[in-house]
Amino acid sequence: MKVTFTELFRLDGTVDRATYTLVGILGFALKHNLDRFVASYVFHRPWGFFNYLVPLREVGRITDLHTSEAEFLATMLALSLPFIWVGVILTIKRLRSAAVAPQLAILFFIPVLNLLFFLALCLLPERIPSATQRKTPDHVTPGGVLPHSAPGSAALSLLITVPFGVGLAVFGSQVLANYGWGIFVALPFAMGFAAAYIYGTRTRRTLKASVGVACLSVVLVGAALLAIAVEGLICLIMAAPLALPLAAFGGFCAHQVQQARWARAEASLLLPLLLFTVPGLQWAEHRLARQPSVYVVQSAIEIHASPETVWHQVVAFSQIPPPTEWMFRAGIAYPIRAEITGSGPGAVRHCVFSTGAFVEPIEVWDEPHRLKFSVTSNPPPLEEWTPYPHIDPPHLHGFLESQGGEFLLTLLPNGGTRLVGTTWYRHGLWPGEYWKVWSDLIIHRIHVRVLAHIRDESERTQSAVR
């Protein structure tokens, strides 16, 4: 019985029952003691064998998790990723050596039943012929462990890669509260590469099929994050134009590697290295904690009313009718009304949105020309679409924040007013320029909603005076 370290990560080949049993026992012993150490000394929680079935006995639903509990579960999941990878790979190898359908590897993830499954694999004898007893066609990888059929290979590829993608996404967003290059760039690429590479291990696949499996892996990760109440549909849709092309590129790269048969051994090690590099990048971003840039959005409208009439609406505008725009109906926070306490510099304006109120101390009160204010409190930027009553992902707090705003009123030659609204804001999402496209669009639509209402109310008031 001999097994090298690289064989723990390679898809080709087989393992006998003795190797499978020994590695399984040693792996579980290492993992259990690592889990106990982290639970006890980092989170000050007890940890025993039954915690693998019920990690938190006092929490009935995932939506009831507090921040500390979510961080604990996400950390334990992140620690499990290398062990899951090795376990799934060895299980597939063992199924092949016993001449059993590799699709049964799905039983690895079913609690309680998987214990009987492991016991059976430890007892089943080897039945597969050796490589020297069979001639392998040129288009088939020797020692391949995936089924020949495209659906079977794709299913097993996704079974291996999607849990890793979910775990890494949860680790980055819930534990590190970091939404950057690691989660939006490195993870989709790594997922696409891994899924496409595993899919093409047994038999050469077409580029179209490889890219399709790569993109499907990212789609399934998004669906899983929605199902376990980690993310909402709106943010997943926003991330899709960035994540899907990166997954497709990862699939393309994996397909090219598969065409170079000499690189296959090296690529087997590249898969875990690529996947385990993602949390390293996430951690580096978390430690560096770059200060987000300040962005500016400016919108303008012409109003057939005097600056004096418009000024009163700018300072505190009345209730705006319910929105008809798809963006706001989908859950993006929208303005409802504005209230003010006091007048002049030092007065406090409250701009009430569907998710709460912005608190806006007045800095410049130049009636009826300029109103400038800072922002000391921001409500959540949206309400997520989710199958659960409510979720509260970290990016709803502190990642898209208004820094201040300004209304500038200019008298036009026809006696009307040109009203310009400006917002200065930051967001902690990376790549910054990609997310700036979304945030600029959202803030501009908010401006348009407010400016149009001010225009309608001001022109109605001006007409009544005449």
**Average pLDDT of the segment spanning 315-338:** 90
Report helix angle 67-97 to 264-288, nearest 10. 180
pLDDT of residue 337: 93
Cα–chain center distance at 38: 25
pLDDT of residue 130: 40
Proportion of the chain above pLDDT 70, given as a percent: 84
Given a cut of 70, whether residue 57 has pLDDT beyond it is: no
**Average pLDDT of the segment spanning 75-92:** 82
pLDDT of residue 457: 92
Residue 419 to residue 408: CA distance in whole angstroms:
6
State yes or no: cis peptide before 431, omega within 30 of 0.
Answer: yes
- Residue 406: which pLDDT band, with cuts at 50, 70 and 90? very high
Question: What's the DSSP call for residue 411?
Answer: E
Where does residue 360 rank: exposed (0-12), middle (13-18), buried (19+ CB within 10 A)?
A: buried
Given a cut of 80, whether residue 59 has pLDDT beyond it is: no
Where does residue 316 rank: exposed (0-12), middle (13-18), buried (19+ CB within 10 A)?
A: middle
Given a cut of 90, whether residue 350 has pLDDT beyond it is: yes
Contact 335, 353 (CB under 8 A): yes
pLDDT of residue 396: 77
Long-range Cβ contact pairs of 375-379 (< 8 A, separation 24 or more): 375/401, 375/402, 375/403, 375/404, 375/405, 378/402, 379/333, 379/353, 379/355
Proportion of the chain above pLDDT 90, given as a percent: 35
Given a cut of 70, whether residue 352 has pLDDT beyond it is: yes
**Tokens coding 157:** 């590829």
- Residue 391: which pLDDT band, with cuts at 50, 70 and 90? confident
**Average pLDDT of the segment spanning 189-199:** 90
Given a cut of 80, whether residue 290 has pLDDT beyond it is: no
pLDDT of residue 143: 41
Least confident of 109-113, 180-184, 259-263, 438-442: 259-263
Given a cut of 50, whether residue 102 has pLDDT beyond it is: yes
**Average pLDDT of the segment spanning 228-233:** 84
Q: What is the dihedral of CA 200, 203, 204, 206, to 10 degrees?
A: -70
Which residue would you say has higher pLDDT here, 259 or 429?
Answer: 429
pLDDT of residue 121: 85
Q: Is 409 helix (H, G, I), strand (E, B) or coil?
A: strand
Inter-CA distances, 432 with 185, 187, 440, 441, Å: 12, 17, 11, 14
Given a cut of 80, whether residue 135 has pLDDT beyond it is: no
Q: What are phi and psi of 236, to 5 degrees?
A: -65, -40
Given a cut of 50, whether residue 275 has pLDDT beyond it is: yes
- Residue 147: which pLDDT band, with cuts at 50, 70 and 90? low
Contact 77, 170 (CB under 8 A): yes
Convert the pLDDT of each residue in 392-401 to its tens digit.
787 777 788 8
Residue 309 to residue 457: CA distance in whole angstroms:
9
**Helical H segments across 42-149, by residue range:** 67-97, 113-123
Given a cut of 50, whether residue 225 has pLDDT beyond it is: yes
Beta bridge partners of 425: 295, 402
335-341 and 417-427 as β-strands: parallel, antiparallel, unpaired? unpaired
Convert the pLDDT of each residue in 125-134 to its tens digit.
887 644 433 4
Inter-CA distances, 433 with 192, 348, 378, 399, Å: 23, 32, 22, 14
Q: Which residue has the tokens 């006696």?
A: 415
* The residue type at 201: T
Given a cut of 90, whether residue 12 has pLDDT beyond it is: no
The length of the chain, given as a count of residues: 466
pLDDT of residue 412: 93
Given a cut of 80, whether residue 288 has pLDDT beyond it is: no
- Residue 262: which pLDDT band, with cuts at 50, 70 and 90? very low
User: What value does the mean pLDDT of the chain take?
Assistant: 82
- Give the domains, in start order, of the chain with CATH numbers: 6-288 (no CATH), 294-465 (3.30.530.20)
Which residue would you say has higher pLDDT here, 71 or 375?
Answer: 375
Closest to 440 (Cα-Cα) out of 329, 298, 268, 319:
298
pLDDT of residue 141: 47
Where does residue 288 rank: exposed (0-12), middle (13-18), buried (19+ CB within 10 A)?
A: exposed
pLDDT of residue 418: 96
Convert the pLDDT of each residue in 150-179 to its tens digit.
888 888 888 888 888 888 888 888 777 788
Which residues touch 254 (CB under 8 Å, ≥6 apart)?
Answer: 192, 193, 194, 195, 196, 197, 200, 210, 214, 267
